[in-house]
Structure 1
Amino acid sequence: MNPDDRVVDLVATFGAQDANVAWLLCDRHPTDNVAITAVDATGDVSTVTFGQLAADSHRYARVLQGLGVRPGDRVATLMGKSAELATVLLAIWRLGAVYVPLFTAFAPQAIALRLAGSGARLVIVDPDQRHKLAPGPDMPEDPERNVVVTKAT
């Protein structure tokens, strides 16, 4: 395939109105192929296959659905780069929800600004970042917002 035809093919596949993000990024790949290689802070390496990623993201999507997440809802994450973040993102997209990134370097005031601006009603947070969501002068209390703490990393 020549480069121009390849570009047309990619645009048709990834730019389609009915493109399914979960299928494009995960489900269409062989289940035993490695999807993610993660290196943690201690240097330990772990891998996740497409099959594991699909199963885990489906499971996470069911949890999010149980929390009331529907298509078009905004779901924020305050998580470090990890295989779990990829799983959460895929779960959000499986439900047709909108991903709102909150970077771990953000201070509470910057997080509050993005939460208010996005209308996110659910925040998925790593345990070591949870303190940034505590109500205070920089983080207004919002009884409508749910916070889900991920497993310890």
Structure 2
Amino acid sequence: MTWQQMLSSLDSHGVVEFGIHQMDLKSNTPKWRRHKGGAQSRFNTLRNSLFSHDKGARVACLGRSTYAKKVYAAGFNSVVPYVGTWLQGAQLAFLVRAAAAEPEVTLVPAAALNALQGDDHSSLLASLGQLFGVGAQEYGVRLLASGEVYLPR
């Protein structure tokens, strides 16, 4: 699958899976939080999971998700280094990484995100960092602007 195929699937309806690694959490909150779709699905398309104005990957990685702050953060800030999102059953997933101006995004095997587990932040950061690096080497890195995925210049 290529970037073009993944980008053309942004508006496809299906079960959207979503994983978020958030730091500075309230106690008993999973460090790798998963939303697996279904009747209570947070998102109905990959586009929504990437660009939703309050719960999407972009705003989460920019620290602007009031939902993540209010519901899960122990302090006043929401720190989200990585978010993954994919259609259930898909081969590839989008893995988004926090960056200064616009979050970075690459493609990774969905099965790797689906199997990801971690009880501590350092192991999650290491696993997600390695996964992002492999995806970047194989597929390259793009940026998430408001409503679009684009190649940096």
**TM-score in terms of structure 2 length:** 0.28
Higher strand share: 2
Higher helix share: 1
Q: Which has the higher contact order (CA 8 A, sep 6+)?
A: 2
**TM-score in terms of structure 1 length:** 0.28
